[in-house]
């Protein structure tokens, strides 16, 4: 095995920092990770290679099972929204468990950050040490995501790391909870754990526990989750040690590096064999409308719109380059993200769309991210080091959604229609904080947002409530368990018709939860943004589909629901009609918000029999709706998944419902006639682009019907990215000094 | 390496394969000759003679027409040089009032027209809806995909195309020729 780049040097005590530098040099020189020209362990014994991979995967998943069982919070214990990974000594993730796949990249960069900051020398790495971080200034995503790393030693040598992340229920923000969209700056991002050593000899220091008890509102959950992360990591450490006992250290060290290089090759190979070189562009926008709402600081009384452009270039070697050039500025809310977290987010999409056969850090070496504009939402610190990242994942969700569609377009061109994804759903969260049914203060997330609709493919609808952008284990948990954690009662949890956009193939549908507040003296509902849109819709009209609608929750306080129950009258179990929802039709209330622009926190606590209607987004659709098979429309009508109006006016299907059986029948000939009429109407009302361009140019110069958030966004984008501004001006033939 | 009959690929792209079979195809290693079969199927379905070089969307294809490479709809409508955004040659209908949005999005499903426009791009020939954009005023239309055709055919498929062309975005060249009035 002489050609294997073995780690004897490590055993000779080459520092990890030197090893990192050498790894970078080898990659730059050879284009292969660790300079590997071949994969000798794989070539020598592919069976053992695959077997050990399967064992490592099982080890990480065992860490996940143990860790989630030990954890306390509903998100980890019930939803499994956590992750455990095995890493090289220099940080690169080798293997990841199921769970939140947005994090293997961040954990890799975290360990690298420890090394780059000289931790190997001081405080040193020792068996039994426990390191932790939640500070995005040093590699974290956002402060509610606690990252734990445990070194794995074998015969006195650091041979790997076990690392984990879980999303705690209260991060000690100014306001309760873990979705810190309201945070104005990093000083409100809660309890910091900045690259700390939080324990040794497998025990957490007492002062760590004291800090969590005094600075978070749900310390039992926070500490329970800390124990869960540690338990999973120690499980991995124990199992990996046994694996090395069996296969030998040399084999372990060789093969773990080969898995990473193998993953890189897979990702490159997939683009090369299933994609096309060139340039792809996808604009996307995300709103954060906060003017007039309850906020923390005065400067937050503002509406924001994020510009989230994605440009992807693929060169002759199938190297992929991502750019977010044109991104708008940082925001005075918790929705800023760092470039390293963007990298991990891109890796998340790769785990879904490209490199999922052997998912690890290797895929990240198959592409590059151009440093996002300094001062933008995607790179705030060079301009504002105090920017908040209370829920940094929020802008990532809506930006990364574009990558699903872009990769889908690539696969489509080469005929791999089964691999196409039309664009992701959004992530709107629900948190409750206040005194629960046990008389204790509680704060935390429900699990609803972890089950969106799945993006449409190019040959089938997406599945309903079966997909999540951040975890392959989409699971909204049991309603009965959520009712144990929070003082709520589910009145409904139903598939929401037409929530997956309109297209030849629709996105998987989302669902709507209806909660009645029960057994509490008062509790707040925080309709949180972890990646939602409420004023705009996504720019996902892939191949002529219509995007999913905006996220609009509703609620009612001071209701007559108790009287309705006593009188056995109908309650609210679903959203109902979008013009006149069930909440409006059936309930009287002192305050009724039927069409809330999210995100927000209720102005006052909710009490007994108050209601919340919380919709969860479906995913995006594919293709011209007039090309949808009428039989699919009929099937959706029968299932209650589309409405008569939409079937007729958007899909052009003429259908009739049998009054006796309740079943729908399509009139094929009439449908064809209606569709031809609708196509003719498009041609009649459509104007040549060039003519529209002339008129639109004048409206742009007049800033006609442009909300302040839109104008602010364009100004920031054009200031931060001069190239982007120049192209925008050139397209509309605007003066060189034009700004919005 | 997996390989499939053209008839099976045709059923796959038409959504007519049993789901269990689709899953097998998704899990298996990909068939390297998919693009040949895919293009052959699509070529059979159009009535015009130009060779399809690359499908862009279900309706639009880059085709070889003489020495030019142009975007062409399956109905025969032509959209010009593939290196300029084809949307410049499409019909456009913009929804930016509550009334026009209401035809698609009603009540709580409606976005705010001061924040976003719904732009519908249609084919002047057949009325097919080719793309929909949801962007604020001021956003140039996305040039969704500018493929590097020569690199693709020469280096990746190892079947070079005749008459190599410069790989460059020509959209602004088209716009520069337009009069503002």
> Phi first, then psi: what are they for A731, rounded to 5°?
-65, -40
Q: What is the pLDDT of residues A490-517, one digit of tens each?
A: 999 999 999 999 999 999 999 999 999 9
Q: What is the pLDDT of residues A192-221, one digit of tens each?
A: 999 999 999 999 999 999 999 999 999 999
Q: From the list A537, A579, A697, which residue is nearest B116 (CB)?
A: A537
Q: Please, are residues A372 and A312 in contact by the beta-carbon 8 Å criterion? A: no
* Contact across the interface for A278 and B13, Cβ inside 8 Å: no
In angstroms, rounded to a whole number, what is the distance separating the alpha carbons of residues A65 and A59? Answer: 10
Q: From the list A705, A714, A740, which residue is nearest B114 (CB)?
A: A705
Arithmetic mean of pLDDT, A413-430: 96
Say if A588 is an interface residue toward chain B (CB within 8 Å): no
* Contact across the interface for B39 and A460, Cβ inside 8 Å: no
Query: Residue A738 pLDDT more than 80?
Result: yes
Query: Residue A12 pLDDT more than 90?
Result: no
User: Chain A residues with CB inside 8 Å of B172's CB?
Assistant: 727, 730-731
Say if B168 is an interface residue toward chain A (CB within 8 Å): no
Arithmetic mean of pLDDT, A80-107: 95
Its pTM stands at 0.96
Confidence at A6, pLDDT banded by 50, 70, 90: very low
**Helix and strand element counts for chain B (H, E):** 6, 8
In this prediction, residue B168 carries a pLDDT of 98
Identify the three-state secondary structure at position A609.
Answer: coil
Say if B171 is an interface residue toward chain A (CB within 8 Å): yes
* Contact across the interface for B58 and A624, Cβ inside 8 Å: yes
User: Which of 20-39 (B) contact A at CB < 8 A?
Assistant: 22, 25-26, 30, 32, 34-35, 37-39
Arithmetic mean of pLDDT, A639-654: 98
* Contact across the interface for B140 and A704, Cβ inside 8 Å: no
User: Chain A residues with CB inside 8 Å of B15's CB?
Assistant: 459-460, 505, 629
- The long-range contacts involving A113-120, CB below 8 angstroms and separated by at least 24 positions, are A113/A138, A113/A139, A113/A195, A114/A149, A114/A195, A115/A16, A115/A17, A115/A20, A115/A90, A115/A91, A116/A17, A116/A20, A117/A195, A118/A17, A119/A195, A120/A15, A120/A16, A120/A17
In angstroms, rounded to a whole number, what is the distance separating the alpha carbons of residues A649 and A256? Answer: 56
Tokens in use for A236?
Answer: 């991995």
Query: Residue A356 pLDDT more than 80?
Result: no
Say if B107 is an interface residue toward chain A (CB within 8 Å): yes
ipTM here: 0.98
Say if B166 is an interface residue toward chain A (CB within 8 Å): no
* Contact across the interface for A689 and B151, Cβ inside 8 Å: no
For A717, which residue in chain B has the nearest alpha carbon? B139
Spans of all domains in chain A:
48-264, 421-623, 625-685, 689-732
For A595, which residue in chain B has the nearest alpha carbon? B108
Whole-angstrom Cα Rg for chain A = 26
Say if A656 is an interface residue toward chain B (CB within 8 Å): no
Say if A704 is an interface residue toward chain B (CB within 8 Å): yes
Q: From the list B89, B136, B142, which residue is nearest A689 (CB)?
A: B89
Q: What is the pLDDT of residues B4-54, one digit of tens each?
A: 999 999 999 999 999 999 999 999 999 999 999 999 999 999 999 999 999
Say if A651 is an interface residue toward chain B (CB within 8 Å): no
* Contact across the interface for B129 and A626, Cβ inside 8 Å: yes
Q: Please, are residues A457 and A418 in contact by the beta-carbon 8 Å criterion? A: yes
* Contact across the interface for A278 and B167, Cβ inside 8 Å: yes
Integer distance in angstroms from the first to the last C-alpha of chain A? 63
**Nearest-5° Cα angle at B36, B31 to B38:** 85
* Contact across the interface for A458 and B9, Cβ inside 8 Å: no
In this prediction, residue A11 carries a pLDDT of 47
Arithmetic mean of pLDDT, A66-82: 91
A-to-B residue pairs, Cβ atoms closer than 8 angstroms: 276
Say if A124 is an interface residue toward chain B (CB within 8 Å): no
CA-based nearest distance A619→chain B, Å: 15
User: Chain A residues with CB inside 8 Å of B111's CB?
Assistant: 535-537, 549-550
User: Which of 57-96 (B) contact A at CB < 8 A?
Assistant: 57-59, 87-94, 96
User: Chain B residues with CB inside 8 Å of A690's CB?
Assistant: 88, 178
Query: DSSP readout, A548-569?
Result: PPP---EEEEEESHHHHHHTT-
**Residue pointed to by tokens 């020792």:** A126
Percentage of residues in chain A with pLDDT exceeding 70?
A: 98
* Contact across the interface for A578 and B109, Cβ inside 8 Å: yes
Confidence at A7, pLDDT banded by 50, 70, 90: very low
Instruction: Calculate the alpha carbon distances from A263 to A39, A260, A552, A563, B39 in Å.
Output: 11, 5, 40, 61, 30
Say if B174 is an interface residue toward chain A (CB within 8 Å): no
CA-based nearest distance B66→chain A, Å: 22
* Contact across the interface for A686 and B132, Cβ inside 8 Å: no
Query: Residue A1 pLDDT more than 80?
Result: no
State the burial class of residue A568 (Cβ atoms within 10 Å of its Cβ: 0-12, 13-18, 19+). Answer: exposed
Residue A444: enclosing H or E segment and its boundaries? strand A441-445
**How does the average pLDDT of chain A come out, rounded?**
96
User: Which of 319-348 (A) contact B at CB < 8 A?
Assistant: none
* Contact across the interface for A692 and B92, Cβ inside 8 Å: yes
CA-based nearest distance A534→chain B, Å: 7
CA nearest neighbour of A685 among B74, B127, B106, B85: B127
In angstroms, rounded to a whole number, what is the distance separating the alpha carbons of residues A272 and A319? Answer: 9
Instruction: Show the low-confidence residues of chain B (pLDDT under 70).
Output: 1
In this prediction, residue A355 carries a pLDDT of 79
Instruction: Calculate the alpha carbon distances from A171 to A176, A487, A512 in Å.
Output: 8, 21, 27
Say if A702 is an interface residue toward chain B (CB within 8 Å): no
Strands B68-73 and A664-666: unpaired
In this prediction, residue B1 carries a pLDDT of 62
Say if A313 is an interface residue toward chain B (CB within 8 Å): no
User: Which of 383-412 (A) contact B at CB < 8 A?
Assistant: 409, 412
Query: Residue A247 pLDDT more than 80?
Result: yes
For B112, which residue in chain A has the nearest alpha carbon? A535
* Contact across the interface for B124 and A683, Cβ inside 8 Å: yes
Query: Residue A3 pLDDT more than 70?
Result: no
Q: What is the pLDDT of residues A325-347, one digit of tens each?
A: 999 999 999 999 999 999 999 99
Among A27-36, A349-358, A464-473, the range of highest mean pLDDT: A27-36
User: Which of 110-149 (B) contact A at CB < 8 A?
Assistant: 110-116, 118, 120-122, 124, 126-149
Choose, out of A268, A576, A686, the residue to mutate when testing the contact with B (most B CBs < 10 Å): A686
Q: What is the pLDDT of residues A166-181, one digit of tens each?
A: 999 999 999 999 999 9
Q: From the list A283, A287, A535, which residue is nearest B142 (CB)?
A: A283
Say if A145 is an interface residue toward chain B (CB within 8 Å): no
In angstroms, rounded to a whole number, what is the distance separating the alpha carbons of residues A61 and A152? Answer: 17
Say if B40 is an interface residue toward chain A (CB within 8 Å): no
In angstroms, rounded to a whole number, what is the distance separating the alpha carbons of residues A363 and A102? Answer: 13
Confidence at A8, pLDDT banded by 50, 70, 90: very low
Strands A320-323 and A367-369: parallel
* Contact across the interface for B140 and A707, Cβ inside 8 Å: no
């Amino acid at each position: 095995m002489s050609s294997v780049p073995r780690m004897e040097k490590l055993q000779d005590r080459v520092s990890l920092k030197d090893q990192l530098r050498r790894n970078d040099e080898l990659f730059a020189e050879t284009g292969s990770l660790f300079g590997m020209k071949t994969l000798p362990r794989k070539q020598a014994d592919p069976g053992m290679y695959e077997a050990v991979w399967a064992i490592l995967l099982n080890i990480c998943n065992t860490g996940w099972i143990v860790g989630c069982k030990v954890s306390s919070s509903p998100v980890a214990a019930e939803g499994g929204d956590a992750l455990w990974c095995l890493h090289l000594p220099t940080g690169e993730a080798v293997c990841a468990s199921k769970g939140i796949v947005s994090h293997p990249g961040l954990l890799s960069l975290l360990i690298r950050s420890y090394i780059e900051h000289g931790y190997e020398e001081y405080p040193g790495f020792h068996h039994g040490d426990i390191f932790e971080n939640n500070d995005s200034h040093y590699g974290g995503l956002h402060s509610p995501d606690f990252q734990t790393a445990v070194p794995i030693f074998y015969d006195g040598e650091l041979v790997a790391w076990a690392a984990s992340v879980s999303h705690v229920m209260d991060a000690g923000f100014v306001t309760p909870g873990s979705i810190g969209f309201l945070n104005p700056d990093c000083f409100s991002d809660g309890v910091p754990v900045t690259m700390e050593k939080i324990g040794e000899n497998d025990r957490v220091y007492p002062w760590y526990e004291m800090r969590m008890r005094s600075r978070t509102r749900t310390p039992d959950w926070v500490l329970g989750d800390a124990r869960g992360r540690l338990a999973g990591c120690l499980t991995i450490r124990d199992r990996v040690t046994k694996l090395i006992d069996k296969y030998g250290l040399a084999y372990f060290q060789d093969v773990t590096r080969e898995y990473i290089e193998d993953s890189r090759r897979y990702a490159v190979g997939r683009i090369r064999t299933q994609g096309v070189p060139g340039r792809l562009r996808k604009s996307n926008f995300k709103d954060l409308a906060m003017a007039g709402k309850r906020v923390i600081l005065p400067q937050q009384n503002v509406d924001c719109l994020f510009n989230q452009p994605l440009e992807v270039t693929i060169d002759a070697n199938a190297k992929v380059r991502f750019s977010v050039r044109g991104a708008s500025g940082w925001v005075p809310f918790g929705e800023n993200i760092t470039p390293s977290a963007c990298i991990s987010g891109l890796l998340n999409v790769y785990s879904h769309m490209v490199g999922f056969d052997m998912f690890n850090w290797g895929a990240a070496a198959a592409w590059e991210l151009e440093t996002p504009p300094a001062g933008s939402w995607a790179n705030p610190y060079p301009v504002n080091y105090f920017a908040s990242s209370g829920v940094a994942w929020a802008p990532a969700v809506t930006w990364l959604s574009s990558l699903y569609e872009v990769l889908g377009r690539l696969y489509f061109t080469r005929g791999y229609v089964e691999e196409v994804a039309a664009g992701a759903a959004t992530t709107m969260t629900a948190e409750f904080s206040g005194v629960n049914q046990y008389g204790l203060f509680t704060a935390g997330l429900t699990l609803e947002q972890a089950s969106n609709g799945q993006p449409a493919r190019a040959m089938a609808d997406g599945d309903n409530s079966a997909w999540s952008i951040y975890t392959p284990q989409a699971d909204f948990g049991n309603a009965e368990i959520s009712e144990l954690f929070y003082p709520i009662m589910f009145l409904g949890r139903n598939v929401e018709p037409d929530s997956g956009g309109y297209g030849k193939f629709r996105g998987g549908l989302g669902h709507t939860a209806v909660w009645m507040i029960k057994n509490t003296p008062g509790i707040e509902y925080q309709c949180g943004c972890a990646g939602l849109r409420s004023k705009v819709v996504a720019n996902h009209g892939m191949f002529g589909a219509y995007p999913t609608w905006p996220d609009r929750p509703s609620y009612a306080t001071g209701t007559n629901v108790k009287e309705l129950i006593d009188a056995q009258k109908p309650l609210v179990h679903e959203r109902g009609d979008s013009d006149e929802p069930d909440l409006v039709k059936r309930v009287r209330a002192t305050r009724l918000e039927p069409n809330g622009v999210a995100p927000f926190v209720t102005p006052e606590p909710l009490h007994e029999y108050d209601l919340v209607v919380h919709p969860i987004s479906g995913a995006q659709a594919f293709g011209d709706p007039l090309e949808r098979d009428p039989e699919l429309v009929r099937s959706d009508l029968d299932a209650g998944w589309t409405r008569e109006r939409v079937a007729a006016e958007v899909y052009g299907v003429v259908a009739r419902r049998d009054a006796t059986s309740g079943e729908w029948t399509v009139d094929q000939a009439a449908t064809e006639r209606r569709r031809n009429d609708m196509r003719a109407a498009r041609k009649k009302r459509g104007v040549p682009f060039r003519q529209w361009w002339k008129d639109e140019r004048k409206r742009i110069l007049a800033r006609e019907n442009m909300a302040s958030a839109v104008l602010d966004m364009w100004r920031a984008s054009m200031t931060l990215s001069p190239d982007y501004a120049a192209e925008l001006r050139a397209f509309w033939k605007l003066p060189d000094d034009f700004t919005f | 390496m997996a390989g499939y009959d053209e008839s099976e690929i045709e059923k796959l792209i038409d959504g007519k394969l049993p789901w269990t079979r689709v899953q097998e195809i998704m899990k298996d290693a990909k068939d390297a000759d998919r693009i040949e079969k895919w293009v052959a199927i699509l070529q059979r379905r159009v009535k015009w003679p130009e060779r399809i070089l690359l499908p862009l969307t279900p309706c639009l294809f880059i085709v070889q027409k003489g020495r030019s490479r142009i975007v062409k709809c399956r109905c025969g409508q032509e959209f010009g040089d593939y290196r300029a955004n084809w949307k410049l040659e499409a019909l456009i209908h913009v929804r930016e009032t509550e009334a026009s949005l209401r035809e698609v999005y009603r009540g709580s499903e409606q976005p705010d027209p001061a924040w976003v426009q719904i732009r519908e791009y249609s084919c002047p020939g057949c009325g097919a809806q080719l793309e929909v954009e949801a962007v604020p005023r001021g956003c140039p239309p996305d040039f969704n995909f500018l493929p590097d055709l020569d690199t693709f055919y020469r280096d990746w498929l190892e079947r070079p195309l005749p008459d190599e062309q410069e790989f460059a975005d020509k959209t602004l060249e088209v716009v520069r020729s337009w009069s503002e009035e």
